[in-house]
Structure 1
Amino acid sequence: MRGLFAIDGNIYNYMLKLYEVMVLNLLFIIASLPIITIGAALTALYDVTLKMQVGIEKEMTRSFVKSFRKNGMQATKIWLTFLGFIAIACLAISLVNGHPVVFLPLLYLSVLVVGTLPYTFSLVATFENKTGVMMRNGLMLAMQHVPHTLIMISIAGLLCLYLPIYQRWLLLPVIMLGFSLTAVIQSHFIFGILVKLVGEEEVTDRET
């Protein structure tokens, strides 16, 4: 019984991971409050959760803040671009009154754009490149890995939209864990994809 609760035991390790995910979630919420900084906050979030895949997320708070500052400008440009596209798409959908010839392509494009977000901000967190190249590569990854993209969109929708809206009793756990837990699960898929493309060292070696 003592072994279960030992400092190197399974229960202790699980509780430690849960605490880390809660702290990371709080950091993300605080960093996202100005709304315009959500892109930078997402980049810092994926920076940490990608490193969690191989257990190198040391000094998590410091890593988050450093990544937020380092990648903030580029991530904000990408975030504003995404927001602009979604705003235009929503306006166009409302103007056509749901006509399927216009509505369905716009809906498809909107879902694709949303599915591109995790890839794009993960790329910003992991590599250095021009903003346009990051967005193009994120879109290509989303289109090349449709099953993973759909799974990641579904996870985000379930944890961040469906549960807090339709399962009110889960509102507090979602607020405490929802965003960071979503990123942790998504990072599992993204990390595997990036490792196949460039190798594990390229994914984990960049300083944050």
Structure 2
Amino acid sequence: MGRIFDMDSPVMRFLTVMADLMILNILTIICCIPIITAGASLTGLHYVLLKMARNEEGYIVKSFFKSFKQNFRQATIIWLIILAFIIIFIGDIMIFNYAAIEFPKALRIFLIVLGLFMLMVAIYVFPVLSRFDNTVMNTIKNALFMSILSFPKTLLMLILYALPVVIFYFTPIAAPLIFLFGISAPSYFAAMLYSGTFKKFEPEEEEIIDRFEINGKNDEVN
């Protein structure tokens, strides 16, 4: 019985992970409230979660704010780009649905495909920013590259991120659980998926720089 409550026991490790995910979820929500800080908040979240997925985690809150501050400028720029795209995308959808004229079907398909690519970038870009140093545009390009490189994992990540929304839609009573784990839990499992993809670019940095421009951050924003 005493072994169950040993710090190295599976039960205690599970409870520790759950506690960390709860703290991270609440912390991320609070730091996203100003809206403009959402990018830095998500970057800090993924910085910690990747370490957790690799059993490298240290101080959760300290690590979160370390990444938050370090990547604030680039994360904010990327977030504003994504936010602008979302606004334009929603506007286009409304025009297509309510305009008096009929738009070509090919244009609608193009918009859907463009939205899918942007969604793929969005789920990778903050994890990429949290792990690799680069310019804003190269970070976005590398996020797209990685999402295509690991397309089956990308689809699974999309399902993971959509799951809390689906659960809340069909079971509103689950709202407290979603508030505590709705962002961090899917992101934690996503980190387990993209961790392997990231490792392909981590060992030989010089080769990666030459081929994919993953590293080599500078102050210039392309």
TM-score, scaled to structure 2: 0.85
Name the structure 1 match of 2:107: 102
Name the structure 1 match of 2:131: 126
Question: What pairs with 1:60-139 in structure 2 (closer than 5 Å)?
Answer: 60-97=60-97, 99=103, 100-139=105-144
Equivalents in 2 of 1:129, 1:8: separation in Å? 38
1:192 aligns with 2:192: no
Equivalents in 2 of 1:200, 1:42: separation in Å? 27
SS of 2:201's equivalent in the other structure is helix
Name the structure 1 match of 2:177: 173
Equivalents in 1 of 2:180, 2:118: separation in Å? 26
1:162 aligns with 2:166: yes
Larger radius of gyration: 2
Equivalents in 2 of 1:7, 1:97: separation in Å? 56
SS of 2:7's equivalent in the other structure is coil
Q: What is the deviation of 1:181?
A: 0.5
4+ long deviations beyond 6 Å: none
5+ residue gaps, structure 1: 203-208
Equivalents in 1 of 2:90, 2:41: separation in Å? 24
Equivalents in 1 of 2:172, 2:59: separation in Å? 34
Question: Aligned pairs, how many?
Answer: 201
5+ residue gaps, structure 2: 207-222
Contact 1:118–1:186 (Cα < 8 Å) also in 2: no
Name the structure 1 match of 2:211: none
TM-score, scaled to structure 1: 0.90
Equivalents in 1 of 2:204, 2:54: separation in Å? 9
Counterpart of 1:49, as a letter, is L
Name the structure 2 match of 1:29: 29
Counterpart of 1:198, as a letter, is E
State the Cα deviation string for residues 89-135 of structure 1 (Å, max 9, x = none): 22122212285322222122112212212321111111111111101
**CA separation of 1:130 and 1:20: change in aligned 2, threshold 3 A:** same
SS of 1:199's equivalent in the other structure is coil
Equivalents in 1 of 2:2, 2:204: separation in Å? 37
For the aligned residue pairs, the C-alpha RMSD in angstroms reads 1.9
| Residue of 148, 158, 161 corresponding to 1:143 | 148
State the Cα deviation string for residues 141-173 of structure 1 (Å, max 9, x = none): 1222221111111110112x1112221121111
Contact 1:46–1:125 (Cα < 8 Å) also in 2: yes
Larger helix fraction of residues: 1
